[in-house]
């Protein structure tokens, strides 16, 4: 069997030194290549904490994570930074674009960060990614001049530009009206299909979650129900 894109076993996260609060209580989760997974759960259930750990921005207190077959706990900070730059794209509720830069300059940022400097071809790749989200004609626009939905599309282009196998999206449509949220979601869904990129998307929108391949629910720091794409294979209806 081939290694899944992402595998978590017993991931625990505690916050605090004096008073320890356990936020994740042993999370098991498998995400296959190309899967589009919704992550649901009420406020405070640990969704952002889990995404930060998966994003290699924070360390788990206990448990193991494998990303593209590499065990994260074996890696030092430099190796984590490299793995993050190569394997992950990020989209947040607020676009986190750099307002002093143009749309295409923002999209190029992950490439620049990965290479340590601007290289030939990066602008072209940024333009192609902007084209994919329908904003090729706004490439040199300052991002402050774009609408909320357009800014979030720039953020999607930025997440996709380096062709990472996994995108982590923390309520990417949470700050948009429902029509714009629908459009932005559809764009992300299509990009994921076209490029075979897996997405783990936190959302409170039941309608959007239904349109994902699978929904994972966090309940008080634990995954409720099935934890991997093997669910269909073990279903009695699968025959």
Ligand X SMILES: Nc1ncnc2c1ncn2[C@@H]1O[C@H](COP(=O)(O)OP(=O)(O)O)[C@@H](O)[C@H]1O
**Site for Mg ion, residues 164 to 223, rule: CB under 5 A:** none
| Rounded CA separation 210/27 (Å) | 22
Among 6, 7, 48, 205, binds ligand X (CB under 6 A): 48
| Rounded CA separation 156/158 (Å) | 5
Among 49, 106, 150, 203, binds ligand X (CB under 6 A): 49
Instruction: Please identify, using beta-carbon distances, which residue of 5 and 51 lies nearer to Mg ion.
Output: 51
Instruction: Please identify, using beta-carbon distances, which residue of 15 and 131 lies nearer to ligand X.
Output: 15
Sort residue 16 into left (φ over 0), alpha (ψ -120 to 50) or beta. left
Instruction: Please identify, using beta-carbon distances, which residue of 58 and 183 lies nearer to ligand X.
Output: 58
Q: Are 127 and 164 in contact (CB under 8 A)?
A: no
Alpha-carbon torsion angle 54, 32, 112, 76, nearest 10: 40
Is 15 an interacting residue with respect to ligand X (CB under 6 A)?
yes
Is 43 an interacting residue with respect to ligand X (CB under 6 A)?
yes
Is 46 an interacting residue with respect to ligand X (CB under 6 A)?
yes
Q: How far apart are the first and last CA of the chain?
A: 20
The least distance separating ligand X from the CB of residue 41, rounded to whole angstroms, comes to 5
Rg (CA), the chain: 18
Is 172 an interacting residue with respect to ligand X (CB under 6 A)?
no
Query: Would you say how long the chain is, in residues?
Result: 239
**Site for Mg ion, residues 26 to 55, rule: CB under 5 A:** 47-48
**Would you tell me which residues interact with Mg ion (CB under 5 A)?**
47-48
**Would you tell me which residues interact with ligand X (CB under 6 A)?**
15-16, 21, 23, 41, 43-49
């Amino acid at each position: 069997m081939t290694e899944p894109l992402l595998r978590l076993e017993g991931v625990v996260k505690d916050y605090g030194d004096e008073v320890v609060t356990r936020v994740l209580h042993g999370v098991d989760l498998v995400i296959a290549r190309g899967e589009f997974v919704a992550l649901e759960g009420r406020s405070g259930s640990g969704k952002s904490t889990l995404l930060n750990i998966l994003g290699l921005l924070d360390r788990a207190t206990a448990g193991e994570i494998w990303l593209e077959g590499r065990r994260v706990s074996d890696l030092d900070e430099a190796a984590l930074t490299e793995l993050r730059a190569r394997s992950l794209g990020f989209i947040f509720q607020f676009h986190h674009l750099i307002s002093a830069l143009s749309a295409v300059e923002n999209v190029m940022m992950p490439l620049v960060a990965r290479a340590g400097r601007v290289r030939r071809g990066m602008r072209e790749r940024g333009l192609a990614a902007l084209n994919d989200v329908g904003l090729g004609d706004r490439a040199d626009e300052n991002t402050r001049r774009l609408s909320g939905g357009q800014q979030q599309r720039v953020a999607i282009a930025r997440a996709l530009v380096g062709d990472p196998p996994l995108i982590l999206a923390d309520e990417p449509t949470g700050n948009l009206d429902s029509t714009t949220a629908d459009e932005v979601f559809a764009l992300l869904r299509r990009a994921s299909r076209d490029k075979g990129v897996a997405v783990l998307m936190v959302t409170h929108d039941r309608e959007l979650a239904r349109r994902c391949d699978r929904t994972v629910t966090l309940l008080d720091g634990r995954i409720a129900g099935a934890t991997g794409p093997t669910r269909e294979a073990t279903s009695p209806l699968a025959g």
